[in-house]
């Protein structure tokens, strides 16, 4: 049995290099709740995911079925559940609430070795259920990372400074306010420009690293008339100055949340039935909100999806919803000297 931990570490490493995004799959049986009518607000699964800094722990919840095995209390019940569901690694246990305290024990069971590898125990004040759950999660993640050496196959990069990036987006504008949605419909939209990140990472929150990104973007949008109105084309040129928070969800995924200010010029080109050609130009300020999700294809190139809400402050406010696909290529930054 002295070889148990080295053997398990080797199996973990083999699983890490074979699964997508270097992830190890562990099933979590719903803990038995004692002395409380409802479970704590913070779930153990979510707390582990938030602390998984390298995105290498895949926690899957055991679903209920007619067998009634989904919440084991003993190692024999855990073995029966693993055998029935073809599970190799299982977290199971109990959470107990008394008048003054929360306490709980979670066990990591390895069905290949037919034994409990580790027990995790926590106790806290009855009013601190979220802190209690997070303490359990920290002990589980610490064991997997530190004791067993589980880590991302992609090493964490040193801090980077002065990163430049060229983004692009192909989108579809959807007018959705005032008379604009009645008069116009979208044809297409393209956007590119230059983005600047002063420091990566800039701050940490809930186990995720974040950076700040700004720059100058130029977008061209083409709209046309709805079928009920005379033919026209509406050409829009928009300059955006965004402020974005980019969060590292895992080793290969990023989430983007942002807002910005803008200046938009609209050129209307219309062929009127009785009055001939009509052209006019209008300019107005605006603002935008956006959210996106990107996957790293390589260290410098990423692709994903992005949705923006763009408002232009004419007398009748123009609002467009702009979903689309996006990408970004970064210039090689100068790394911080050690």
Report the distance separating Cα 245 and Cα 292, nearest Å. 10
pLDDT above 80 for 253: yes
Report the distance separating Cα 121 and Cα 204, nearest Å. 27
What does the pLDDT read at residue 11?
47
DSSP 84-129: HHT-SEEEEEEEEE-SSEEEEEEEEEETTTTEEEEEEEEEEETT-H
Checking DSSP bridges between strand 89-97 and strand 101-110, what pairing results, if any?
antiparallel
Per-residue pLDDT reduced to its tens digit, 181-220: 788 888 999 999 999 999 988 888 766 789 999 999 999 9
What is the average per-residue pLDDT within 235-242?
A: 96
Report the distance separating Cα 91 and Cα 121, nearest Å. 13
What does the pLDDT read at residue 39?
75
For 251-297, strand residue ranges (E) read 253-272, 276-296
Q: Could you tell me which residues come within 8 angstroms of residue 37 by beta carbon, excluding any fewer than 6 positions away?
A: none
3-state SS, residue 284: strand
What does the pLDDT read at residue 146?
79
Residue 6 banded pLDDT, cuts 50, 70, 90: very low
Query: What does pLDDT average to over the chain?
Result: 84
Per-residue pLDDT reduced to its tens digit, 60-80: 888 877 666 778 888 898 999
Residue 51 banded pLDDT, cuts 50, 70, 90: confident
Return the minimum-mean-pLDDT range out of 15-29, 186-200, 245-259: 15-29
Per-residue pLDDT reduced to its tens digit, 297-331: 988 899 999 999 999 999 989 999 999 999 999 98
| 50 vs 214 pLDDT, higher one | 214
Virtual torsion, Cα 78, 80, 81, 82, nearest 10 deg: 90
What does the pLDDT read at residue 30?
87
State the angle between helix axes of 129-142 and 44-51 in degrees (0 to 180), rounded to the nearest 10.
50
What does the pLDDT read at residue 9?
47
| 41 vs 282 pLDDT, higher one | 282
Checking DSSP bridges between strand 101-110 and strand 115-125, what pairing results, if any?
antiparallel
Spatial contact of 234 and 196, defined as CB atoms under 8 Å apart: no
Which residue is associated with the tokens 């300019």?
A: 283
Residue 269 banded pLDDT, cuts 50, 70, 90: confident
What does the pLDDT read at residue 15?
44
Supply 283's token pair. Answer: 């300019």
What does the pLDDT read at residue 21?
38
Which residue is associated with the tokens 């855990």?
A: 78
Q: Domains of the chain (ranges plus CATH)?
A: 4-147 (3.40.50.10070), 160-335 (2.40.160.20)
Per-residue pLDDT reduced to its tens digit, 118-176: 999 999 998 888 899 999 999 998 888 877 776 654 455 578 889 999 999 999 999 98
| 250 vs 337 pLDDT, higher one | 250
What does the pLDDT read at residue 334?
54
Supply 127's token pair. Answer: 């009013």
Threshold 0.75, pTM exceeds? no
């Amino acid at each position: 049995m002295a070889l148990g931990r080295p053997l398990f570490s080797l199996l973990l490493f083999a699983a890490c290099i074979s699964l997508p995004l270097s992830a190890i799959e562990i099933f979590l049986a719903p803990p038995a709740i004692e002395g409380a009518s409802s479970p704590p607000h913070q779930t153990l699964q979510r707390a582990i995911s938030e602390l998984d800094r390298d995105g290498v722990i895949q926690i899957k919840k055991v679903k209920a079925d007619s067998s009634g095995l989904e919440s084991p209390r003993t190692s024999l019940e855990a073995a029966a559940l693993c055998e029935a569901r073809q599970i190799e690694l299982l977290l199971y246990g109990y959470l107990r609430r008394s008048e003054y305290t929360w306490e709980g024990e979670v066990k990591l069971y390895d069905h290949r070795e037919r034994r409990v590898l580790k027990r995790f125990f926590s106790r806290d004040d009855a009013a601190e259920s979220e802190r209690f759950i997070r303490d359990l999660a920290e002990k589980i993640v610490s064991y997997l990372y530190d004791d067993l050496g589980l880590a991302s196959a992609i090493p964490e990069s040193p801090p980077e400074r002065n990163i430049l990036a060229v983004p692009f987006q192909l989108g579809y504008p959807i007018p959705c306010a005032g008379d604009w949605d009645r008069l116009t419909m979208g044809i297409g939209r393209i956007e590119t420009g230059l983005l600047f990140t002063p420091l990566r990472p800039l701050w940490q929150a809930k186990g995720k690293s974040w950076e700040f990104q700004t720059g100058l973007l130029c977008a061209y949008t083409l709209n046309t008339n709805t079928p009920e109105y005379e033919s026209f084309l509406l050409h829009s040129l928009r300059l955006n100055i965004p402020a974005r928070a980019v969060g590292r969800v895992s080793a290969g995924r990023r989430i983007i949340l942002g807002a910005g200010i803008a200046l938009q010029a609209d050129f209307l080109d219309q062929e009127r039935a009785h009055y001939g050609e009509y052209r006019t130009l209008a300019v107005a300020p605006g603002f935008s909100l956006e959210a996106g999700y990107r996957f790293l294809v390589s260290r410098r190139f990423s692709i994903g999806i992005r949705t923006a809400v763009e408002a232009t402050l004419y007398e009748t406010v123009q609002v467009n919803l702009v979903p689309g696909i996006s990408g970004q290529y970064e210039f090689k930054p100068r790394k911080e000297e050690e």
